[in-house]
Structure 1
Amino acid sequence: MDGLAGKTVIVTGGGGGIGGATCRLLGARGAKVSVFDMNFEAAAQVATDIAHQGGTAVAFECDITNRAAVDAAVASAEAQLGPADVLVNNAGWDVFKPFVQTIPAEWEKLISINLTGALHMHHAVLPGMAARKSGRIINIASDAARVGSSGEAVYAACKGGLVALSKTLAREHARQGITVNVICPGPTDTALLAGVAEGAANPEKLIEAFTRAIPLGRLGQPDDLARAIAFFASDDAAFITGQVLSVSGGLTMNG
């Protein structure tokens, strides 16, 4: 993929499964990576891995639900590595239970992390991209946003909002050379999925059901998502914007 070397990238949730794989892949392809995560130790480990591969990365502790923390982290990242060329909004959280069994405190946390946090990141990074007339934004939503998912009503609502936000921003900023695209993972072998499964009556049965439902016969792996993210971040995707791509092993096949 062309055009990644030397680019400055911010990845939220960069210390986790999909985020960590994305940071490592972009770092290996020559990008300068800002690893944002609430868990600084996890972010630092990813940055260290990238450095050991000969790449450039810096870890930042950042709570994306806190606008002041986002502004400070973005300012620090850009001061150290340069203005952001690519933003990957990957951080997320979920709780697996029927909607009527959820409580407002859970809704607030889901919305704060999965939607409001992404709003903060866009609002902090987009003005600079617009001034420079270039940028790539990749938002990680979910196939739950496209087809629904039992037990994930509020999560699906947040991710649906992120899809709508992405399409709107793609229209608003296309003339400034900024592309905004969405990747929707299906069930992926990450700590988030494991946490969701723990909330089910029979976690092993739930994971088995997810796997059986996927036509390609396996759960997604973080690297599967990282490669799709890297494509949207690259020059190969320069004429693609406002699009939603499912990376789900065929679980959902939306036209």
Structure 2
Amino acid sequence: MLFDRALLLQRQLRASRHPADFLLMRVNDEMEERLGAMMRKFEHVADVWTPGEGLQIRLWRGLQVPIARPAEPSGFVAETLPLAAESLDLAVSALAFQFVNDLPGVLAQIRRALKPDGLLLAAMLGGDTLTELRQSFAAAEAECEGGVSPRVAPFADLRDIGALLQRAGFALPVTDVDRVVVRYASAFALMADLRRMGATNVLRERRHTLTRRATMLRMAQLYAERFADADGRIRATFDIVWLSGWAPHESQPKPLKPGSAKASLEAAVKQAKR
């Protein structure tokens, strides 16, 4: 149990009053483009835990399809999805799965809720997201306080997420990364945006006392020294990991059974060398 989900919900509700939603808008547009390229009709759709007002995507020939929001506050905290088995053609989610304690369990619930040949398409923060802030805080705390506390949540990498999709029973799993580098005047400006995203520290093992002023100032100084451009503005990395998978269906391509090949790889290599 890494995350305090009740605290996360409180902070996301607070952030919705004056949101910093540039990442969410980027994901929204990309998701609409990816789905539009499929030329496929999705009638029963659910949005899983996208913050704010959720995704606003056109799913079929320019028509806005109502997207259900299955997560009530109690379910949000408990990580349960009130979705009937084989009830969905499509499940979508944006910038939410990085705060899930039991991601394999949530993926399994979504897989169960999809009809055969139904699709999950989601985007989450992962990889090297906020690596600059993580490194700067760790160095400042080690220097000023003689120890390091959890500041930035651990993020899954591409390979791990692909394995989780397979574990949950999805067919044809695909993952890729969209790296976004945002520049800020200072580390404090970055942290202000994180508050407006509802994405500040909700780790259960987080420090529960105020950070010393000297530590915060040293963190900002180290950040500027290590991760600033020539004009003095700092860089912040956000890796948006895209994941997709299909509920199995007999019409989908299937890998060949081991030993079913009619020619050996060794023979093909020797033939190519001649």
Give the alignment's TM-score, normalised by structure 1.
0.43
| Larger of the two Rg values belongs to structure | 2
The structure whose residues are more often helix, as a share, is: 1
Structure number with greater CO (CA < 8 Å, separation at least 6) is: 2
